[in-house]
Amino acid sequence: GPGRLGILVKLFKLIDMNLPVPTIGNGKNHYQMISVFDCVSAILCAIDKGLPNKEYNLGSKNPPDIRTLLQGVVTSADKHSIVIPTSGKLVKLVLGLLDKYGFTLMYPEQFMIADEEYVLDIQETEKDLDWHPQYSDEDMLKEAYKMYKKKK
């Protein structure tokens, strides 16, 4: 959501400087995001449905693979960074060592799952709550990049 850039600042700095953007792993995995606006929308739908006593998954619909997602941000920013796949195991080892010695580039909870397939099934949420995400992963990252540029 607005104002919450976190780890994305590091990504956006690489893009702004037209530097290579490394993935952790080959970048063919999918990592589903959720917009704060879609979270609020789901809450309102749950209220409308009488607050069902059930757990629901929230997430974007049909997230692209990481490589495609990152290249889309680079293209929309009109930059020339290239997305480079890396060895996930090696990068995780290096990031883990850096973190252990106080040179944290990413937190373990971020890099340890960065090359995993991370997509939740939202069909039950859509059916039960009549809820559908309005924001795609691409939209969220492009909007976050615009916000980053405004804050600079």
- Mean pLDDT for back-to-back runs of 10 residues, the chain (152 residues): 74 96 96 94 98 97 96 96 96 96 91 94 98 96 92 78
DSSP class of residue 64? Answer: P
pLDDT score of 7? 83
**β strands within the chain, DSSP E:** 21-22, 83-84
Q: Is residue 102 part of a domain?
A: yes
Q: Is residue 2 part of a domain?
A: no
Q: Is residue 1 part of a domain?
A: no
If one counts the domains in the chain, the total is: 1
Rounded to 5 degrees, φ, ψ at 11 are -60, -50
pLDDT score of 26? 97
Q: Is residue 19 part of a domain?
A: yes
**Look-up of token digits 């953007």:** 21
Q: Is residue 23 part of a domain?
A: yes
Inter-residue contact 104 to 98 (CB < 8 Å):
yes
Rounded CA separation 92/40 (Å): 34
Please give the residue range of the domain that contains residue 48: 8-151
Q: Is residue 3 part of a domain?
A: no
Q: Is residue 145 part of a domain?
A: yes
Cut 0.75: pTM above it: yes
Inter-residue contact 130 to 149 (CB < 8 Å):
no
Helix (H, G, I), strand (E, B) or coil at 107: coil
Q: Is residue 60 part of a domain?
A: yes
pLDDT score of 18? 97
Rounded to 5 degrees, φ, ψ at 89 are -65, -45
DSSP class of residue 27? Answer: S
Q: What is the CATH number of the domain that holds 59?
A: 3.90.25.10
